Structures are given as C-alpha cells and as structure tokens.
C-alpha cells in the first residue's frame, strides 16, 4: 500500500534554515518503504528541483485544497508556536495551523507535527491555543528538552506522547562532517590565523519594532572583532554568512552594515543561494562562529565549529542547553547591546571549552531520526 503526503513548511523563501528542514524531511520520507506521492509547499525560490516531489504554492487556499486529498499531512518545525513578538502575527500563525489541523481531521487525514520548537508560551489564551494544536495532532516530535517541558506543562492532557527529537538538519545527505571535530587543543597558539564566521538577524526590528538596536548589535560585534584582531593579530578573515536572503525580515542589510564596519579587515559576504547543503558545506573551513540566527548555531554544530550564540530568542539558548554548550557560550542580544561582547569573543577565539558541545553529531543524528520513527509507515484505513 502507498499513501500520499503533504509536507507543509515555509520553504523556497530564501531562508537556509527552513530549506534545510524541507530537504531533510522530503528525503527522509522518500526513503520510507511506502512513500507514495510527496507534495511540498514552496515559495518562489527553487529548492526541490532535484527531488522527485510535487510542489504547490505556499498559500492557505492551495494547502487546504490538498489536505482534503492526501492521506497524511506533515507540518514541519521551526518555531511556530511561541509568544515572542507581535501578538497579531502570533495569532495569525496559531489560527492557520489550528484551521489546517481541524480541516484535516474533517477529512480523516493524519496530522504529524515534525521536530517543532514550542515556546515560550505566555498567557492562558496562548496556552489554550497550543493545547488545541497538540491535542488535535496524531503525532508530535519536539526538537529540544525545553520544548518538551512546555508541551508537558499544558493544561489539558493529550492522547499522544511527544517524542524528544532534534532539528532534522543532521539528516541531510550531503553535509560534510569533520573527521576530528574537537581537537584536544583549539587555542590561539595552535592556530595563528583564524577565520571567523558571523551570522546576524534583525531581531529588534522583527520582535520589538526597534531597528536602531539592530545597528547597536552590529557595532558590538564589529568592536569585539576589531579588539581581538588588535590584541592577538590572529584574525585572518571574517566571513559573514547571510542565512536569510528573502524579502521579509532578511539578514542582508544588517550583514552589509557589519561588512562596512569591518573596514580594513579581510572580509567576505556569503549569501544563501537556495542550496542549504552547499551553504552548510561552505562553513567547513571556518574556525569559530559568532551566531545569531538559530540555524547558524545548528549548522556550526554540524560542522563542529566552536560557537558563541548571540541569543535573540529563547530557542537559541534552548539549542545550546540541549547540545551541551557551556553557559558562557551564549549572550543575550540585550546584553550584547548594553555591555558588548568583547570578553565572550576573546574566550571563543582562545579556545575555551565552553564553546564546544557535549552532544556528538551521532547523538544528534539519532535524535533527529526519532521524529520520523514517530510517523507510521503507512496510514491505516
């Protein structure tokens, strides 16, 4: 018996993290013994042209129409269910997912929530909405322990048991893994010339409508890099990784501002170009990462690169906690603006073990597979 599956996600909009999730999900589903027809939502950018799947436009009308025709709906993470930022935007997201799940239930279509980041959830209203999502789904996997805690704290019991998993990016087929990820000594003395990778995202503009604060983050990062280069003279190059090049809340402008503030240093702006595997591989020779975008942290973990997280959302802290980085390996964006990050970047460059995770790639890969093992091989009539 074969079945048909609709994979829902914000793919094809110039976001490396979302596209990595989409590719990994589609390919894992395609490897199953009864994959059937896979359809995936997509925006204007090509992502799935080399995969044997059908694509539909990411729109409510297209999605709802197809939900009535397929056997299974796989709704992928990110972090859709949380209460950070604008309340109107949050209600829109919750409303869409609840409507889609209810519509699927009407057509007796299985609903699987795959590797979601859930939370923080503040306020009774949003806890009720989140409970509705969880109770109505047939299967749920979450990508970190804190998301699991949020689900287990919801006010109404669920008939399903959430599966603790991981972001699905470790399951990408063409991501190069370093043979010796964590050498005994990664200090500045053992590597005189370092390449530093940086990822920024305009979080103040997105969540607080305060873009001037984003400029202060840029300055804090630039000042820290200039300071380290002046003190240690071991920064050979700075590569600014632009993970989101789409039209909405993209990282391009902020990254170009950092590029201008690093005048006099060897720099490169590396923009995501709709191929997440190539983009991740392009980080392979970077020695350290200052990561703000959530998936810059995931990608650096996959490439075994010591990383400082500039946490703009609790999900960044949760990822670092889950993978076992030291607490010194992250700084909130608010503290970065108020106090700078010179000491944190200096410790990162000098090879402090806090900036390396205790979780191995193999552990992450095994956890990522748990999401797919939670989905039944075929939908029973």
**Chain segment 287-309, per-residue pLDDT in tens:** 999 999 999 999 999 999 999 99
pLDDT at 380: 37
pLDDT at 185: 41
Looking from the CA of 34 toward its CB, the CA atoms found within 13 Å total 12
pLDDT at 160: 73
pLDDT, mean over the chain: 90
Is the pLDDT higher at 327 or at 85?
A: 327
- What ranges make up the beta strands (E) of 77-169? 110-116, 139-142, 163-164
376 — pLDDT class (breaks 50, 70, 90): low
Mean pLDDT, residues 225-246? 91
86 — pLDDT class (breaks 50, 70, 90): confident
Mean pLDDT, residues 156-164? 79
Is the pLDDT higher at 2 or at 353?
A: 353
293-296, long-range: CB within 8 Å, 24+ apart, which pairs?
Answer: 293/17, 293/199, 293/200, 293/201, 293/243, 293/244, 293/251, 294/17, 294/79, 294/319, 295/16, 295/17, 295/20, 295/167, 295/169, 295/243, 296/197, 296/199, 296/241, 296/243
pLDDT at 267: 96
b/e sequence 13-43, b meaning 16+ C-beta within 10 Å: bbbbbbbbbbbbbbbbbeebeebbebbbbbb
Is the pLDDT confidence value at 377 over 70?
Answer: no
- pLDDT cut 90: percent of the chain above it: 78
Tens digit of pLDDT for each residue in 103-158?
999 999 999 999 999 999 999 999 999 999 999 999 999 999 999 999 999 987 66
Structural domains for the chain: 4-173+363-373 (3.40.50.2000), 188-358 (3.40.50.2000)
178 — pLDDT class (breaks 50, 70, 90): low
pLDDT at 122: 94
Is the pLDDT higher at 377 or at 27?
A: 27
* Rounded distance between C-alpha atoms, residue 31 and residue 29, angstroms: 5
pLDDT at 181: 47
Tens digit of pLDDT for each residue in 218-234?
999 999 999 999 887 78
Contact indicator for 48, 55 with CB cutoff of 8 Å? yes
Cα–Cα distances (Å) from 93 to 51, 83, 174, 184, 364, in that order, read 28, 11, 32, 45, 28
* Rounded distance between C-alpha atoms, residue 180 and residue 136, angstroms: 44
């Amino acid at each position: 018996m074969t079945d048909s599956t609709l994979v829902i996600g914000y793919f094809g909009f110039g976001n490396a993290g979302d596209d990595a999730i989409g590719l990994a999900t589609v390919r894992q589903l395609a490897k199953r013994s009864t994959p059937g027809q896979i359809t995936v939502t997509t925006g204007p950018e090509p992502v799935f042209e080399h995969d044997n799947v059908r694509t539909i436009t990411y729109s409510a009308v297209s999605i709802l129409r197809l939900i009535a025709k397929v056997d299974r709906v796989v709704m992928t993470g990110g972090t859709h269910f949380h209460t950070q930022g604008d309340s109107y935007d949050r209600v829109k997201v919750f409303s869409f997912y609840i409507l889609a799940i209810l519509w699927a239930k009407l057509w007796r279509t299985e609903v699987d929530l795959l590797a979601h980041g859930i939370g923080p959830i503040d306020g009774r209203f949003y806890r009720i909405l989140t409970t509705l999502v969880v109770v109505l789904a047939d299967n749920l996997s979450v990508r970190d322990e804190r998301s699991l805690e949020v689900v287990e704290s919801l006010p109404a019991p669920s008939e399903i048991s959430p599966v603790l998993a991981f972001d699905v990016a470790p399951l990408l087929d063409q991501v190069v893994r370093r043979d010796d990820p964590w050498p005994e000594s990664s200090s500045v003395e053992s590597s005189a010339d370092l390449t530093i990778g940086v990822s920024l995202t305009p979080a103040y503009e997105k969540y607080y409508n305060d873009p001037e604060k984003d400029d202060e983050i840029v300055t804090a990062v630039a000042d820290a890099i200039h300071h380290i280069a002046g003190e240690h003279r071991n920064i050979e190059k700075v590569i600014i990784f632009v993970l989101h090049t789409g039209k909405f809340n993209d990282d391009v402008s902020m990254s170009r501002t950092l590029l201008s503030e690093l005048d006099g240093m060897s720099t490169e702006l590396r923009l995501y170009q709709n191929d997440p595997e190539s983009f991740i591989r392009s980080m392979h020779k970077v020695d350290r990462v200052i990561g703000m975008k959530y998936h810059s942290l995931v990608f650096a973990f996959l490439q075994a690169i010591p990383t400082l997280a500039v946490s703009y959302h609790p999900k960044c802290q949760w990822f670092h906690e889950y993978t076992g980085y030291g607490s010194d390996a992250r700084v909130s964006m608010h503290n970065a603006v108020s106090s700078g990050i010179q000491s944190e970047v200096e410790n990162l460059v000098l090879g402090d073990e806090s900036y390396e995770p205790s979780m191995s790639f193999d552990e992450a890969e095994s956890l990522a597979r748990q999401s797919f093992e939670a989905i039944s091989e075929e939908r029973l009539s």
